[in-house]
Amino acid sequence: MTTRRKRDFLKTQLLETDRLIEMTGDHPVMSFGLAQRREALEKELQALPIGHKEARTVLFFSGEPVVGSIGIDANFAGRVLTPFQNMVMSEHAHRWHGTLGSRGKRSGEQESRLILTGLPRGSFGMELSKAGNDELFEADQLADTLARVTRLIESAARSDEDFAAELDETSPRVIQSLREFLKVVAEGRAGLEMESGDFRCALNPIKAGEAYQRVSDTVTKDEEILEKGVFRGLLLESWRFDFVNEAGHKITGKLDDDLTQEQAGAMGRAFLEKTCEADLLKTTILFKNGRERTTYCLRGLKD
């Protein structure tokens, strides 16, 4: 049970308890027991933090692929989980490892691998939880990633502007997985409700179709460019660089994930504060509402 559902459950129990207290009045035995129960429920409810994140999420599906709370079409379930896992892994690598190429292996994939741990009722649900060890730091990172993925899906269903704003810190590779995930949901004429900790989004089949169309209309264009200017440095921890071109414009972005730590460190020492030429991959994201976002990936420097 997610934090949100547990809070809703406790609130329902409190309402039921209040109703019983009103019915029993001043009964010498029952009123005392119900008062104790109400106090215990209040304490449990207050102990649940607001805005809590969990390294676990629940996907509830409804619509054509689902037979009540009995089951779900096996083909649909298999096809929908793969792009969802890819989206989580891509967002996790981008957010916590700072390296995410347009294809190939992602950093920290084991840290963001999910396993199916339950089939909760309520339409038909699939609970996905962190696989592997119980490392608290890794669990916190995955919990933050799942909360962000929930907000991303919700923004795609809400409006062009909200979706564009949510993508400001998102890798183009995440968009690709989001598109594939929503395509399965939309083409299956399914509804989706996603819960992770206190975070929730809900899409009926119509909203799911609109979200898929919005993401599909988002165009990503890659361009290889060479820029002359001054290299201002890089940070290996965040895998980011700073560069100022001849026009005085500051260019920041990620280092290519094909570079090793040793290669990046050597490049940083050799070209720091020197005039040079940067080999860059420029990625332009064009949104349906006309908004545009540009990111840069540094592949190398030369004199």
Q: What is the pLDDT of residue 104?
A: 44
Q: What is the pLDDT of residue 103?
A: 45
Q: What is the pLDDT of residue 187?
A: 96
148-183 pLDDT tens trace: 999 999 999 998 888 887 876 677 778 889 999 999
CB neighbours of 117 closer than 8 A, spacing ≥ 6?
A: 56, 127, 128, 129
Residue with tokens 């990620």: 254
Q: What is the pLDDT of residue 102?
A: 44
Q: What are phi and psi of 38, to 5 degrees?
A: -65, -40
Residue with tokens 């080999």: 279
- Residues 261-268: contacts with CB under 8 Å, at least 24 apart: 261/236, 264/234, 264/236, 264/239, 265/236, 267/234, 267/300, 267/301, 268/233, 268/234, 268/236
Q: Does domain 220-302 have CATH number 2.40.50?
A: yes
- Residues 103-106: contacts with CB under 8 Å, at least 24 apart: 103/173, 104/257
Structure tokens at 233: 């440095």
Q: pLDDT band at residue 101, thresholds of 50, 70 and 90?
A: very low
Three-state DSSP state, 155: helix
Residue with tokens 């292996």: 105
CB neighbours of 247 closer than 8 A, spacing ≥ 6?
A: none
Average pLDDT over the chain, rounded to an integer: 85
Query: Which of 70, 111, 74 is closest to 90 using CA atoms?
Result: 111
Element housing 200 (H / E): strand 199-203
Average pLDDT estimate for 12-22? 81
Q: Give one DSSP letter per residue of 20-70, joined into a string.
A: HHHHHTT-TTHHHHHHHHHHHHHHHHHTSPTT---SEEEEEEEETTEETTT
Q: Give one DSSP letter per residue of 1-17, joined into a string.
A: --HHHHHHHHHHHHHHH
Q: What is the DSSP letter of 121?
A: B
Give yes or no for residue 99 having a pLDDT over 60.
no
